[in-house]
Amino acid sequence: MESFDEVIGARLPALLRYAAVLAGDRDLAQDVVQDALIRAHARWGRISRMDRPDLYLRRMVLTEYLSWHRRKARRAALFEARRAPVEHGPDHAVGHAERDGLWARLAALPERQRAVLVLRYYEDLSDPEIAEVLQCAVGSVRVYRARAFAALRLELELEESR
């Protein structure tokens, strides 16, 4: 059985990246991971005996992100970010514009749909693993993904028609 410090030492960078992709905001991601790890530390005796404690830690981060308080904070941060002028250097303008467009499209998706895309394409989890993290049926994972893709396709079609 690995200690909390050993597991977190090995998994912290990945958890922070995962939360940052979910939240679209590194500061919020750090807050989410910190709060999830505080709860995980208190329950480490039980968590460490699981087959895949790393999946459980991801689930804790996701749950923290999905909480009402965090959604409110994320919406406020997104509102402020949209109001602030974005300054990019001329060398990286195209890359930043594409990345900003992707973040904006992902941010517009409902949280569960975004989580499914992040878990599948960023964390490279299978549908059963995603279902375990989200605590839902495998069929629900497929529905969330299909709806997310449909929404993204519609958004792209609307942009192209403008």
How far is Cα 53 from Cα 55, in angstroms, rounded to an integer? 5
Residues of the chain with CATH 1.10.10.10: 91-162
The pLDDT score that the predictor gives to residue 126 is 93
Tokens encoding 26: 């590194």
* 55 compared with 25, residue with greater pLDDT: 55
CATH top class, domain 91-162: mainly alpha
Residue 68 scores a pLDDT above 60: no
Mean confidence (pLDDT) of the chain: 85
Q: Is the pLDDT of residue 59 over 90?
A: yes
Residue 74 CB coordination number (10 Å): 20
Could you read off the pLDDT of 97-106 as tens digits, one per residue? 777 777 788 8
For the cut 80, the answer to whether the pLDDT of residue 125 exceeds it is yes
pLDDT in tens, 149-161: 999 998 888 888 8
- State how far the Cα of 79 lies from the Cα of 104, in Å rounded to an integer: 12
For residues 106 and 111, give the distance between their C-alpha atoms in angstroms, rounded to a whole number: 9
pTM of the model as a whole? 0.61
Please say whether the beta carbons of 28 and 73 come within 8 A: yes
Q: Running DSSP on this structure, what letter comes out for residue 125?
A: -
* 138: region left, alpha or beta (phi > 0 left; psi from -120 to 50 alpha): alpha
Query: Could you read off the pLDDT of 10-31 as tens digits, one per residue?
Result: 999 999 999 998 888 888 889 9
